[in-house]
Amino acid sequence: MQLSIKKCVSIATLLAGIACYTGSNAQKIDTVSSFSVTGYVDAYYAYYTDSVGPGNFQKFPGVSPRSNNPSLNTAMLSLNYTSDKLRATTVLHFGDIAAAGWAPEPYNHIMEAHVGIKIVNKLWIDAGFFRTHFGTESILPSENITSSIAVGTFYEPLYESGIRLNYDPTPKLDINLFLLNGYNVFVDNNNKKSFGLAATYAFNESAGIGYTNYTGDETPVGKSGSHLRIHNNVFFNFQKRKIKLQVGGDLCMQQNSDLATGTETATMYSGLATLKYQFVPKVAVYGRAEVFSDPDGWMSGVIKDYYGKPTGYKLWGITAGLEVKPTAESYVRLEARYLQMQKDQYIFMNGGDVQNARFEIMVNAGVTFDLLRSIKTKVKMPPTPGTIEEE
């Protein structure tokens, strides 16, 4: 019995020593966290030569989708929290972008909402609703050179849900791996998971490249066969002095999706090149050329051409614009675009006549602002009496 008491005393002394050591070291660890709330508003007026009827959205309704109707692209509220080991983001948006091209209700007002945990240094895991990891352009005018988005961007996934593994091994390299519910969905539509990849590399402060990928089976529920989709995107960004350049392209393939037999692999491709010239500090001009080809119509939808033959969209377009920035956080843009379908594809309506081209013009005004500037909190436990705090 006496030996047992000695053992207990020894164990208690050892545990106390460990606790004191751990506690003294914990006092040296600072926990830093920050919280911010930001807003963004983009209003517009647009006119399209395609007559789709009052109150309806135009074809390819990504940004500024209503004709002859002053409206709101987005009123957005972003909340961000970051700390040493936790991070979270919630973005709510309202307006025509949410109504025309986002997820169906009840999620159409959620642009993104996700939470992340740091696994080890430079490696994070996040889960929830995300904006897309895919593509050359962003859907938000504030993040793009142009206000409108290319037709190829419209057919890319704009939003997604799942799990993201984020690794930044160096300041120049960023790698993201995704396990997703599907292509451009928040809610799984066929009980088959998909995979995504996004990798960017900065050569220097002026130039960088990126590759994004989506791989998944898009077979609808109740339909037989595999419809494996592999969507690839590469892009290059360059900015130096007064010049900003963005070039990107997509190549997408899907099994059992050709128009002729339904048993062969179908292919879609698109590309864009955008150039901006800042000829004075607050005024710039820009232009974009784009091409989109989906001959089997498995992504854009099957139509009948002038001769009644089933086909998919094939088109090219050019965009030109003028941007004025009253402040660093705001912009006003005047932009025009011309879209030309293949000669036998008449999908637009103007004055009662079907046409194979569309002209559009839009004016956008936007501003980003801080509702709550980044608040940083630093928690540091006071030293235990009798200990010496190291500097």
167: in domain: yes
Determine the pLDDT at residue 31: 64
CB under 8 Å to 125, separation ≥6 — which residues?
A: 116, 117, 119, 163, 164, 165, 166
237, two tokens = 């960004």
The residue range of the domain holding 247 is 28-379
> Which DSSP state fits 7?
H
Instruction: Provide the terminal-to-terminal Cα distance of the chain, rounded to the nearest Å.
Output: 47
16: in domain: no
172: in domain: yes
The structural domain count of the chain equals: 1
Determine the pLDDT at residue 55: 78
Concatenating the DSSP letter of every residue in 342-369 gives -TT---EEETTEEESEEEEEEEEEEEEE
Low-confidence ranges of the chain (pLDDT < 70): 1-31, 377-391
Closest by CA to 342, choosing from 286, 288, 303, is 303
7: in domain: no
Concatenating the DSSP letter of every residue in 288-347 gives EEEEEE-TT-TTT--EE-TTS-EE--EEEEEEEEEEE-SSTTEEEEEEEEEEEE-TT---
Sign (positive/negative) of CA torsion 192, 185, 369, 209?
positive
Residue 316, Ramachandran bin (φ over 0: left; ψ between -120 and 50: alpha; else beta): beta
- Residues, the chain, total? 391
The SS3 call for residue 188 is: coil
5: in domain: no
164: in domain: yes
Question: Rounded to 5, what percent of the chain is helix, strand, coil?
Answer: 10, 55, 35
Determine the pLDDT at residue 30: 53
Determine the pLDDT at residue 391: 39
The domain spanning residue 113 has which CATH number?
A: 2.40.160.10
Give me the residues paired with residue 294 across strands. none
pTM: 0.87
The SS3 call for residue 142 is: helix
380, two tokens = 């540091």
The SS3 call for residue 335 is: strand
219: in domain: yes
Determine the pLDDT at residue 113: 98
Alpha-carbon torsion, ordered 37, 323, 98, 311, to 10 deg: -150
387: in domain: no
- Whether residue 169 is preceded by a cis peptide bond, meaning omega within 30 degrees of 0, is no
134, two tokens = 């895919």
> Which DSSP state fits 181?
S
Determine the pLDDT at residue 374: 73
